[in-house]
């Protein structure tokens, strides 16, 4: 059976639908919300920008108001790390807003979406990984060098009297397992969120490159 034999019939069949949309129906559709991946990323970016601003304000306040010098440095450092990340998020949002991929060819559209998604995932991953040394190494170092006594920690030390080797091993195991856990969790989360979709789009791009 040849495809050409069925051109007219298939065209006729495909051009039918269970609904006929009037002008009023189309006008009503224009008031609805789009659900494309670009819209989804924009929503994510706005949510992350909002969260970053809230965190910067909160951590900035804690950094300035805490009585412990370690806390001042710790929260101020966090606030500073969030500044470039917020700028990167704004840059990505601007880039996406300028993007009008639907008028591009199918191949270029796929490549643009994949490139945006990969950049978003890369930045997200980098940022999460950057937070690990700040969270753990910096926190332990600051806690260790704090001049003011930190009562809750002092109470634990007085109660359990842990040996120096126990503290070293515990710290090492705790930091390693959390780092490895966060690394794999972030990888898994990003794959679940966008990774599988990106892989699907890459298959289509490769399919288009196959004959080149």
Q: Work out whether 27 is an interface residue with another protein (CB under 8 A).
A: yes
C-alpha 170/C-alpha 136 separation (Å) is 13
Tell me the torsion sign for CA atoms 175, 181, 184, 186: negative
Helices (H), 66-195: 69-98, 106-133, 139-145, 151-160, 164-190
Helix (H, G, I), strand (E, B) or coil at 149: coil
d(CA 210, CA 204): 10
Q: Which span sits near another protein by CB under 8 A: 33-41, 60-68, 122-130, 133-141? A: 33-41
The residue from 67, 98, 103, 163 that contacts another protein (CB under 8 A) is 103
Query: Who's near 183: CB < 8 A, 6+ residues apart?
Result: 129
Told to check if 29 binds another protein by CB under 8 A, we report yes
Q: Say whether residue 98 binds another protein (CB under 8 A).
A: no
Pick the closer one to another protein by CB: 37 or 132: 37
CA angle 190, 195, 196 (to 5 degrees): 130
At residue 96, the 3 state secondary structure works out as helix
Smallest gap from Cβ 99 to another protein, in A, equals 11
Shortest approach of another protein to residue 126 CB, angstroms? 24
Q: Which stretch binds another protein (CB under 8 A): 61-69, 70-78, 137-145, 199-207?
A: 199-207
Cβ-Cβ contacts under 8 Å for 68 (sequence gap 6 or more) = 146, 148, 150
Near another protein in 150-169, by CB under 8 A = none
Interface residue with another protein among 43, 94, 95, 107 (CB under 8 A) is 107
- Determine which residue in the list 37, 80, 132, 150 makes contact with another protein, applying CB under 8 A: 37
Give contact residues for another protein (rule: CB under 8 A): 1-3, 5-7, 9-23, 26-27, 29-30, 32-37, 40, 100-110, 113, 197, 201, 204, 207-208, 211-212
């Amino acid at each position: 059976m040849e495809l050409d034999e069925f051109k007219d019939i298939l065209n006729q069949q495909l051009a039918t639908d269970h609904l006929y949309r009037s002008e009023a129906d189309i006008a009503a559709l224009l008031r609805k919300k789009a659900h494309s991946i670009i819209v989804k990323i924009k929503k994510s970016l706005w949510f992350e920008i909002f969260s970053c601003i809230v965190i910067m304000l909160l951590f900035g306040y804690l950094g300035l108001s805490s009585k412990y010098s370690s806390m001042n440095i710790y929260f101020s450092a966090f606030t500073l790390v969030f500044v470039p990340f917020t700028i990167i998020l704004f840059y990505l949002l601007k880039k996406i807003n300028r993007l009008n991929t639907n008028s591009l060819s199918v191949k270029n559209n796929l490549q643009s979406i994949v490139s945006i998604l990969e950049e978003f995932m890369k930045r997200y991953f980098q940022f999460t990984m950057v937070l690990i040394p700040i969270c753990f190494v910096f926190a332990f170092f600051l806690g260790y060098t704090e001049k003011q006594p930190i009562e809750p920690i002092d109470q634990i030390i007085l109660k359990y009297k842990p040996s120096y080797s126990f503290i070293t091993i515990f710290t090492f195991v705790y930091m390693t397992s959390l780092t490895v856990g966060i690394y794999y969790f972030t990888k898994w989360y990003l794959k679940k969120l966008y990774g599988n979709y990106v892989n699907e789009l890459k298959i289509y791009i490769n399919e288009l490159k196959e004959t080149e």
